[in-house]
Amino acid sequence: MFLQVGSVSEAVAGAGAGVDAIIAQGVEAGGHVKGTTALSVLLPTIVDAVAPLPVIASGGIADGRGLVAALSLGAQGISIGTRFLASAEARAADAYKARIVMANAEDTVYTEQCNVGWANAPHRVLRTAAIERWERAGRPPTGERPDEGAVLGTMQSGGTTVEISAYSGYLPEPGVRTDIEHMALYAGQSCSLVDGIQPAAEIIAQIVREAMDTVSRLNACR
């Protein structure tokens, strides 16, 4: 069993509970993010705190350079999300994948706004028209947000039709019937490193090649 954490204290508690490995998630990550510390600081402190338990790095990693950096900080593996959202196999709407390819780290927002029915759940998403409207309204709290609770459209998800309401946490799947600018476009800061939609196997092969090239360059500097 793996436990994803955003702090050293959570990692230590998980290790004490007998998990098989810890996933150290930096604040750069997309989706739901509990921690507020950058992976470059969080990862080595967790590695030291729970050794010899394996630690997997998550957040801000999308290429071979990130893999080498994580391994150098003590990780025994990496967890990648945003890069694989822009894969051919990902069950995400094409428009969503395109937004990830076009986005930079500065286009992401760490917020709690896409959380209808899920309080105190910070997450990182792409800046959308809905986020900007909430900001223009003065960033009102839950219960006072513009159009809160309004049904915007529908989508097939998990074999059933679901209603998409304003500030819903649903991400856009193929066939969604609403403007995705009003949905949660989960994405990490590593979107800056995503420049195209590829099959997952090609993404993995590219990451491995980049990692090997990075190690070779570092060895040449000795």
Using alpha carbons, list the distances in angstroms from residue 181 to 94, 114, 122, 129, 168: 13, 12, 19, 5, 12
Other CB atoms within 10 Å distance of the CB of residue 52: 7
What is the full per-residue pLDDT of the chain (222 aa) written as tens digits? 999 999 999 999 999 999 999 999 999 999 999 889 999 999 999 999 999 999 999 999 999 999 999 999 999 999 999 999 999 999 999 999 999 999 999 999 998 887 656 677 889 999 999 899 889 998 888 888 888 888 999 999 888 999 998 888 889 999 999 999 989 999 999 999 999 999 999 999 999 999 999 999 999 887
- Structural domains in the chain plus CATH codes: 2-80 (3.40.50.2300), 91-192 (no CATH)
3-state secondary structure of 207: helix
Q: Cis omega (within 30 of 0) on the bond before 199?
A: no
Structure-token pair, residue 74: 């003590």
CA 129 to chain centre: 20
- Pairing outcome for strands 31-32 and 123-126: antiparallel
pLDDT recorded at residue 143: 82
pLDDT recorded at residue 117: 60
Question: Which residues make Cβ contacts (< 8 Å) with residue 76, sequence separation at least 6?
Answer: 21, 54, 55, 56
How far apart, in whole angstroms, are the C-alpha atoms of residue 222 and residue 220? 6
How far apart, in whole angstroms, are the C-alpha atoms of residue 29 and residue 10? 17
Q: Which of 92, 93, 71, 107 is nearest to 190 (CA)?
A: 107
Residue ranges of alpha helices (H) inside the chain are 8-17, 39-50, 64-72, 82-85, 94-102, 129-136, 200-220
